[in-house]
Amino acid sequence: MTVPPGRFVGLLGANGAGKSTLYSILTGLYSAAEGTVSVDGHDIRQNTLAALAAMGVVFQRTTLDMDLTVIQNLRYAASLHGLDKQLSKERIERGIEQHGLAGLEKRRVAALSGGQRRRGELARAWLHEPAILLLDEPTVGLDFQSRASFIEHVKTLCADQGVSVLCATHLMDEVSNDDAVYVLDKGKIVGQGEVSALLEQHSMPDVAELFSHLIERDLS
């Protein structure tokens, strides 16, 4: 798998397909028996710290401290990344504005809506300006409007900031015809490429039909 700079790449798979396991390998939580993972040119086994520093992660479950405010969570994350006081202040202020958190920075995370928490997670993940963002089912639990707003915001980051994004999801409406996708089933990639090209290749009307077709073909 390859995630080019400035691209939103969807990792499609049903529950149990292996998406979270793959993310555990990519982030070094699991060690794969074979194969390699390279992040921004850094092999995760040979140069673990550099590889991890080049990625930002938004996990499926909220990992912000619910008892702290948004800005306290961001300050804590900045300190973990070793950002000095001035750079930390600049990045946090920009992140709050960029991710639609203005006016919420002094609010406890527990008091935020689900969509606001997700944006807080994203602001934290982007704080050290990584080369790639790994999003693991980032919209779970959000309503349709909040999901659409979050995904649109992430795609804007790709276009405006040149960040690479690998977004694992089982929700077909979160990828568009101009996105690239990998379709995962039982730990194996059963389809890959530009959505528009895959739709034409398999004569499918939409992503949901394409996904079902690829999975059924692989299981037959």
Q: What is the pLDDT of residues 146-175, one digit of tens each?
A: 899 899 999 998 998 888 999 999 999 899
Report the alpha-carbon angle 151-156-158, nearest 5.
Answer: 100
Query: What is the helix (H) or strand (E) element at residue 121, kind and residue range?
Result: helix 114-126
Nearest Cα neighbor of 165 from 147, 140, 183, 138 is 138
CA-to-CA distance for 174 and 148, rounded, in angstroms? 7
**One domain for residues 16 and 101:** no
DSSP state of 60: S
**Which CATH number does the domain housing residue 141 bear?**
3.40.50.300
Average pLDDT along the chain: 92
Within-domain flag for 59: no
Query: pLDDT tens-digit profile of 113-153?
Result: 999 999 999 999 999 999 999 999 999 888 898 899 899 99
Query: pLDDT tens-digit profile of 66-123?
Result: 999 999 999 999 999 999 999 999 999 999 998 999 999 999 999 999 999 999 999 9
CB contact set of 26 (below 8 Å; sequence gap of 6+): 37, 39, 44, 55, 134, 166
CA-to-CA distance for 78 and 72, rounded, in angstroms? 10
**One domain for residues 50 and 71:** no
Give DSSP secondary structure letters for 137-178. Answer: STTTT--HHHHHHHHHHHHHHHHHH--EEEEEES-GGGS-TT
| DSSP reduced 3-state for 82 | coil
**One domain for residues 145 and 179:** yes
Instruction: Tell which of 95, 129, 163 closes a domain.
Output: 129
User: Does residue 40 surpass a pLDDT of 80?
Assistant: yes
pTM: 0.90
What residues does 136 pair with on adjacent strands? 168
**One domain for residues 50 and 73:** no
Query: pLDDT tens-digit profile of 182-210?
Result: 999 999 999 999 999 999 999 999 999 99
User: Does residue 219 surpass a pLDDT of 60?
Assistant: no
Instruction: Tell which of 129, 156, 184 closes a domain.
Output: 129
First-to-last C-alpha distance (Å) of the chain: 24
Within-domain flag for 178: yes
Within-domain flag for 185: yes
At 60 the pLDDT is: 83
At 59 the pLDDT is: 87
